[in-house]
Amino acid sequence: MEQISVFDIIKIGIGPSSSHTMGPWKAAQLSLQEALQDGWFAAIQRVRVELLGSLAKTGKGHGTDIAVILGLNGEDHTTIDTNEIGEKVRIIKSTAALNLAGQKPLPFDADKDLIFNFRESLDFHPNGMRFRYELADGQVIEQTYFSIGGGFVLKADEEPARDARRLPYPCQSGADLAAHCQKKNSTISEIVFENEKTWRSEAAIHEELDLIWQAMIACVYRGCHTQGILPGGLNVRRRAAGLNAKLFDGAQYHSIATWLDALVAARPVFHETLKWVSCIAIAANEENASFGRIVTAPTNGASGVLPAVLFYFYCFCKRRATMEDVRRFLLVAGEFGSIFKKGATISGALGGCQAEIGVSSAMAAGALTECLGGSVGQALMAAEIAMEHHLGLTCDPVAGLVQIPCIERNSMGAIKAITAANIALESDPAEAKVSLDSIIGTMWATAQDMHSKYKETSEGGLAVHVPVNVVDC
Ligand code: SF4
């Protein structure tokens, strides 16, 4: 049984895409690690990278080229100063040279050595990439990697490394999770916490969860206070800052902490609450679209849903929830994301947007339900309802940028999650006709039936029906 930690599903990352930015970045790092370990790094004379399938078709808009260049240059996407990305890439391109793995100066002409191959897509997964290294003795070493969604990466013909440790409560499905909870008379978050102790100490789990929450707050705050036009040439104006200012209507604050205090004190009426949820989802995803520091959950395109629902819970349901509440929320959300990954996919290139916004909405719905006092059955039911109403959702980003429809779609996913939780909290799960596992199976079958033009290729839907004028910038 595949073992996935909550911290593999919810993690601090960088925009705009987990599969098209973070995955290829990581693949470049892994590829060079192999060169170092196997002793042929010093002999490298040239490296060429080929992006295939969806990585070629929407790679420009998703910053795949930038990610590969920085990965080859030895930068780490978890620590790089996001303000320096533009300048670093500009220097590499203008000098036609990079510092391979941060250790070895190497000529690299991005126009010739980074190839967008629009004609070829590999069978295993549409997000394939080839690294081709030419060595001093004339030898050529080729490696193929796949970015399989959510920042996860696999090397071709290589079995994914199996974690030999056994979790106390292994879960492949919603039914497994429910059975463990029933047997131990535990909540979902308690079961997940016990599993996480396989990998980390209790203190380390708390610390990582707290870091994720702090990263979410910082991301949303930046999004709520940054004006201007998003990069990429679509000329999309950022909206969260205007919404934040309008909703606060002159409220005074001077730091992240006092801004959060003001939000907790806001006590909005119903339609303002809806606007706040949208504002937070949009703020996080505008940061994502700007190569900002975000929290991947389970992907970057969907990185606004979880913060929006968690802020809703923290600020408006609990009037400042405790850190214990926040941790419970993240643990439950992460577990639902992992069950969807095991039973279906979290990759837009494999399953369309139901696999991204749909899964994030289901994660948030289940988490909110437990945090609002719902039973295990109600939390599963909420996750099921949220996905049921995202089934068939296509991925058709205009100009291949994670902006239209992605940014607003985060708001929709968050609102649906809140509605799903509210329906579940007023329902008897024993009477539910659709189980979480059957909706996961349905989603996977729908993913397989979906035409490739709706799976992150920008060859269908909005991507071809919206006339756009992309200005190169
Ligand atoms: S449409 Fe959905 S799946 Fe596609 S890039 Fe946007 S958020 Fe991701």
Which residues have a Cβ under 8 Å from the Cβ of 280 and sit 6 or more positions away? Answer: 220, 224, 240, 304, 307, 308, 311, 312, 414
The rounded mean pLDDT for the chain is 96
Residue 173 has which token pair? Answer: 């499905």
Q: Which pLDDT does position 251 carry in this prediction?
A: 84
pTM: 0.94
Q: Which pLDDT does position 473 carry in this prediction?
A: 42
For 446-460, the pLDDT digits (tens) are 999 999 999 999 999
Nearest CA-CA partner of 177 in 308, 14, 331, 394: 331
Ligand 1 proximity of 348 Cβ (cutoff 6 Å): yes
What is the distance in A from the centroid of ligand 1 to the CA of 450? Answer: 14
Work out whether strand 114-117 and strand 44-52 pair parallel, antiparallel, or are unpaired. Answer: parallel
For 383-414, the pLDDT digits (tens) are 999 999 999 999 999 999 999 999 999 999 99
Look at residue 9 and tell me whether its pLDDT is greater than 90.
yes
Across residues 355-376, what is the average pLDDT? 98
Nearest CA to ligand 1 atom 2: 353
Look at residue 471 and tell me whether its pLDDT is greater than 70.
no
Substitution candidate for ligand 1 out of 356, 360, 361 with most atoms within 8 A of CB: 356
| Single-letter amino acid, residue 421 | A
Of all helices (H) and strands (E), which one includes residue 291? none
Asked if residues 32 and 101 have their Cβ atoms less than 8 Å apart, the reply is: yes
Ligand 1 proximity of 171 Cβ (cutoff 6 Å): no
Q: Which pLDDT does position 414 carry in this prediction?
A: 98
Look at residue 159 and tell me whether its pLDDT is greater than 90.
no
Substitution candidate for ligand 1 out of 58, 406, 452 with most atoms within 8 A of CB: 406
Name all domains of the chain by residue range, CATH numbers in brackets: 19-155 (3.30.1330.90), 174-465 (no CATH)
Q: Which pLDDT does position 467 carry in this prediction?
A: 80
Classified as helix, coil or strand, 252 is: coil
Look at residue 138 and tell me whether its pLDDT is greater than 70.
yes
Across residues 6-14, what is the average pLDDT? 96
Residue 148 and residue 337: Cα distance in Å, rounded? 14
Residue 172 and residue 440: Cα distance in Å, rounded? 11
Asked if residues 236 and 229 have their Cβ atoms less than 8 Å apart, the reply is: yes
Ligand 1 proximity of 402 Cβ (cutoff 6 Å): yes
Residue 228 and residue 208: Cα distance in Å, rounded? 32
Look at residue 280 and tell me whether its pLDDT is greater than 50.
yes
Residue 318 and residue 320: Cα distance in Å, rounded? 5
Residue 20 and residue 29: Cα distance in Å, rounded? 14
Across residues 346-362, what is the average pLDDT? 97
Whole-Å CA distances, 188 to 331, 363, 374, 426, 469: 8, 12, 11, 19, 48
